[in-house]
């Protein structure tokens, strides 16, 4: 029986037009721009300076706190500069800029294609290796993985869930990983289960990926019986942690709570693969799979891409930007971010470059709310978006907090379903940030 989450959700067309595009290795450009802010939390501190020689996999940015992550060079060459450089939104962020010279890797990295199945490290050693290799969540927020695998005192994980939903339209990088590197993904899950001390794991995959479900079920049945494959009915935003936990286990994460409050740790397919490479191959996270897609492109691609590759170089490789392109999104169309600066470079969590036409991006003229309630029915968090929108426009912060604006996951279901074309999420997202700032500024009791 196919499962899904119990509240809200919408059904955009999945548009997985790059699903049959096998993973290709992207060629190295002449210059790489490696951000020191590729994760949630404090930016890494640069460890190199102009003129230094670096090798692929070398530590070039040190974690600057508990919630932070190491940064490694994705290439070998000479450091051209350590300075602010514009990110995809045009904001200056500290980068290490490297002129590429060959591709000389750190000798400690196992570059053989052999799959290493024996997990010899202890739980503490696993977590340290993951931290040393700079692994972060690749499902969106880029939360440092070693922190997620270290529940706070009093919290205990009972299950690990691997998120293979990939519910955002157009994205297929996780799908290709499940097809081409299924065993490494499952080994990554087994490694994290050992680190957490749990004996039961799940991988949730939406039913528009039957080949991935079949492959994972064959492998789990023969070699990974502690991991169960759960077929999920296609519905957005099933890849959200709270929605996935609900769909797979039936448990609910409390308001303002975290997955660990429901006894669950959720990790993305890409993260699981990165954990395998870190623990079994001693390979830092400096590359990942990225989808380049859109109906206006002549060809669709899933690239194995080094971190720090400029977007403009990626677009050059697919033949340039088609004339009918109106907007380029980093990520999916529901929760991705518009790229304002094509000179910006990829980061660890870059999952896609999506090219959209004017017809696909045109916003219809807003009209009056007709009180239809569709936004309420669609909200996967049980909120009332029409009300939050009105309160946000009126600046009523206390009422927004009372109505739990902080529980909004910014999925965009409300906007997607609104027949009046009201930009609900635009106002709610801004108001949520303001309310969260107010809440954080209060003295702790």
Give pLDDT tens digits for 102-161. 999 999 999 999 999 999 999 999 999 999 999 999 987 899 999 999 999 999 999 999
pLDDT single digits (tens) 262-293: 999 999 999 999 999 999 999 999 999 999 99
Percentage of the chain surpassing pLDDT 90?
A: 96
Q: pLDDT confidence of 2, banded at 50, 70, 90?
A: confident
> What are the distances in angstroms from CA 74 to CA 30, 106, 366, 441?
12, 11, 45, 38
- Whether the CA torsion 424, 426, 431, 432 is positive or negative: it is positive
Burial status of residue 159 (CB atoms within 10 A of its CB: 0-12, 13-18, 19 or more): buried
* Strand 45-46 relative to strand 59-62, pairing: antiparallel
Predicted confidence (pLDDT) at residue 1 exceeds the cutoff of 70: no
Phi then psi for residue 349, to 5 deg, are: -95, 5
Phi then psi for residue 23, to 5 deg, are: -65, 125
79 CB neighbour count, 10 Å cutoff? 20
Mean pLDDT along residues 43-47:
97
Write out the two tokens for 67: 């919630």
pLDDT single digits (tens) 153-164: 999 999 999 999
Predicted confidence (pLDDT) at residue 16 exceeds the cutoff of 90: yes
pLDDT single digits (tens) 197-256: 999 999 999 999 999 999 999 999 999 999 999 999 999 999 999 999 999 999 999 999
Cα distance between residue 9 and residue 7, in whole Å: 7
Model-level pTM? 0.96
* Strand 45-46 relative to strand 23-25, pairing: unpaired
Give 1 or 209, the one with higher predicted confidence.
209
Q: What value does the mean pLDDT of the chain take?
A: 96
Q: pLDDT confidence of 60, banded at 50, 70, 90?
A: very high
308 CB neighbour count, 10 Å cutoff? 28
Predicted confidence (pLDDT) at residue 81 exceeds the cutoff of 70: yes
pLDDT single digits (tens) 409-440: 999 999 999 999 999 999 999 999 999 999 99
Check residue 182 and give its pLDDT: 98
Coil, helix or strand at residue 296: coil
Check residue 445 and give its pLDDT: 65
Beta bridge partners of 268: 163
């Amino acid at each position: 029986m196919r499962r899904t989450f119990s509240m809200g959700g919408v059904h955009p067309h999945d548009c997985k037009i790059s699903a049959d595009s096998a993973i290709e290795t992207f060629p190295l450009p002449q210059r790489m721009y490696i951000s020191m802010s590729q994760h949630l939390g404090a930016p890494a501190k640069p460890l190199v300076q102009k003129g230094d020689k670096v090798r692929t996999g070398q530590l070039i940015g040190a974690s600057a706190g508990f919630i932070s992550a190491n940064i490694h060079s994705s290439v070998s060459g000479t450091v051209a500069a350590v300075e602010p450089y514009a990110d995809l939104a045009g904001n200056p962020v500290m980068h290490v800029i490297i002129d590429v010279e060959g591709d000389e890797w750190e000798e400690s990295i196992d570059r053989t294609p052999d799959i290493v199945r024996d997990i010899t490290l202890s739980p503490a050693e696993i977590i340290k290796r993951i931290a040393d290799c700079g692994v972060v969540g690749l499902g969106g927020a880029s939360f440092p993985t070693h922190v997620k695998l270290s529940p706070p005192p009093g919290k205990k994980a009972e299950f690990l869930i691997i998120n293979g939903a990939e519910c955002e339209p157009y994205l297929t990088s996780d799908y290709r990983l499940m097809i081409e590197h299924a065993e490494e993904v499952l080994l990554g899950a087994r490694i994290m289960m050992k680190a957490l001390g749990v004996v039961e794991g799940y991988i949730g995959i939406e039913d528009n990926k039957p080949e991935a479900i079949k492959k994972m079920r064959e492998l789990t049945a023969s070699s990974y019986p502690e991991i169960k494959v759960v077929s999920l009915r296609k519905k957005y935003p099933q890849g959200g942690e709270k929605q996935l936990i609900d769909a797979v286990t039936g448990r609910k994460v409390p308001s303002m709570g975290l997955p660990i409050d429901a006894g669950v740790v959720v990790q993305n397919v890409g993260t699981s693969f990165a954990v395998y490479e870190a623990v079994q191959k001693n390979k830092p996270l400096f590359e990942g799979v990225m989808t380049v897609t859109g109906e206006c492109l002549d060809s669709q691609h899933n690239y194995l891409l080094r971190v720090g590759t400029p977007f403009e170089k990626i677009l050059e490789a697919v033949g340039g930007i088609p004339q009918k392109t109106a907007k380029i999104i980093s990520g999916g169309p529901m929760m991705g971010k518009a790229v304002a600066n094509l000179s910006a470079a990829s980061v660890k969590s870059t999952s896609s470059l999506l090219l959209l036409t004017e017809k696909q991006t045109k916003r219809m003229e807003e009209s009056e709310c007709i009180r239809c309630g569709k936004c309420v029915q669609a909200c996967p968090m049980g909120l009332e978006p029409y009300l939050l929108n009105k309160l946000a426009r009126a600046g009523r912060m206390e009422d927004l907090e009372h109505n739990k604006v902080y529980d909004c996951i910014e999925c965009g279901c409300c906007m997607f379903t609104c027949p009046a074309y009201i930009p609900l999420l635009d106002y709610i997202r801004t108001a949520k940030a303001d309310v969260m700032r107010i809440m954080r500024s209060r003295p702790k009791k």
